[in-house]
Amino acid sequence: MNIAVAGVGYVGLVTAVCLAEQGHRVTCLDIDEEKIRLLRQGKCSIYESELEEMMDRNRDRLVYTTDGDEAYRWAEVIIISVGTPEKKDGSANLKYIHDVVRQIARSVERDCVIAVKSTVPVGTNDKLAQMLEDQLRDLRKDVRIRVVSNPEFLSQGTAVKDTLHASRIVLGAEDEQSVDVMKRLYESFNCPIVVTDRRSAEMIKYAANDFLALKISYMNEIANLCEIVGANVEDVAAGMGLDKRIGDRFLNAGIGYGGSCFPKDTKALHWLANYNDYELKTIKAAIEVNEAQKIRLMKKARKYFHSFSGLNIAILGVTFKPGTDDLREAPSLANIPFFLEDGARLQVWDPVGMDNLKKIYDGDLTYCASIEESLLNADACFIFTEWQEIKALDLRTYARLMKRPLVFDGRNCYAPEEAKAAGIRYESIGRSG
């Protein structure tokens, strides 16, 4: 099929390349000229394993452009995957989607289906359908554009696998024809397809993400209580996870969730409820717990040092999770300002996130080429991301290199007994020792 993808950020680019891999011809559109220039040279604009090779393999089926007419004119399906950033009040900013829809109305020359992958508040796709109808009437165009809600469930770091082996495809449509077109698009994907109305599809996306955020905040609270009463949260999670009704994933306690999705989507759903005179108490609690959890270890460290002034602090891992260079809402960013305000010297290491960190903190931090360099002479070490290199480190390295081997581990990378045996003073989440 002839596909256009509007907005080649994370979701858009992965979707485009995976659809090309399935044999579709895909035109990728973005307003960012630099990004399109890079893509045309075969360079992947995001950090995601397998994607660049897949782009290369399918280069004959992929076109990159900044020209809306070229992308939309003859497309059978137009996938919208532009950002819906958070506004100050927590609601989603729909400006970019509205711009795309206006351009589509001007450009299309044939009947087509718009599949909205961007995460949008419930009711948005109904409004977009109305908007399109009005615009086509004003433009006196005799084409039919149908709108389908088609939320995305991929995770950063495993995006290609999540797309090609999706747990489900959700189609929120108001007519049979558009469902048929979308089923044809996803014909070669072997996964369940949930067909529902547009509002339910939009809600599935928020409800799923917010449930996962809630699950993490719940485990973080249980972890905090474990510390108080002397239980071990990992054993508790293992014991809970064997119950199939609970499931064993997303039960890892830590220093809170980050990224471009959970923080934004929890606030957006909370905002939507408030806007409709309803309070989502569970989600409100999940948000509050997460904010406090992000700085929990830093607060614990204050028991060891009244101030961080003059200390050398090693920071291992800055991205919001391993497998990505993304720093958005990363717990590391909630902590770094406290250390700097006190006048600590920060020795930072991350395998891929440091370029993005340099865009935020230019000269203030020492960027280290290795974990060892970061630990050298440090008074304390904070682990904010569970990179494999950190987990695989010989624990004796801490005692060998640090001034004081004091480690605050926000991702439970080590067993407390082993850390103790290696001569480390070790603080982690939900475990004593």
In the chain, what's the furthest Cα-to-Cα distance?
A: 77
CB closer to ligand UGA, 68 vs 430: 430
CB of 138 to ligand UGA, least distance (A): 34
CB of 320 to ligand UGA, least distance (A): 4
Q: Do residues 255 and 217 touch, judged by C-beta distance below 8 A?
A: no
Residue 378 tokens, joined: 């440090």
CB of 207 to ligand UGA, least distance (A): 12
CB closer to ligand UGA, 8 vs 136: 8
Name the strand (E) or helix (H) holding 37. helix 33-40
Q: How many CB atoms lie within 10 A of CB 105?
A: 21
CB of 352 to ligand UGA, least distance (A): 15
CA distances from 84 to 24, 72, 92, 153, 373 (A): 26, 21, 6, 15, 39
CB of 344 to ligand UGA, least distance (A): 24
CB closer to ligand UGA, 72 vs 382: 382
CB closer to ligand UGA, 170 vs 378: 170
CB of 261 to ligand UGA, least distance (A): 3
Q: What are phi and psi of 63, to 5 degrees?
A: -120, 140
CB closer to ligand UGA, 163 vs 312: 163
CB closer to ligand UGA, 175 vs 235: 235
CB closer to ligand UGA, 216 vs 286: 216
In angstroms, rounded to a whole number, what is the distance separating the alpha carbons of residues 102 and 246? 44
Give yes or no: 261 in active site: yes
Binding region for ligand UGA (CB under 6 A): 152-156, 209, 212, 216, 250-252, 254, 257-259, 261-262, 320-321
Residue 15 tokens, joined: 């979707």
Write out the DSSP string of 400-421.
HH-SS-EEEETT--S-HHHHHH
Catalytic site residue from 261, 368, 381, 413? 261
CB of 165 to ligand UGA, least distance (A): 13
Residues tagged active-site = 261
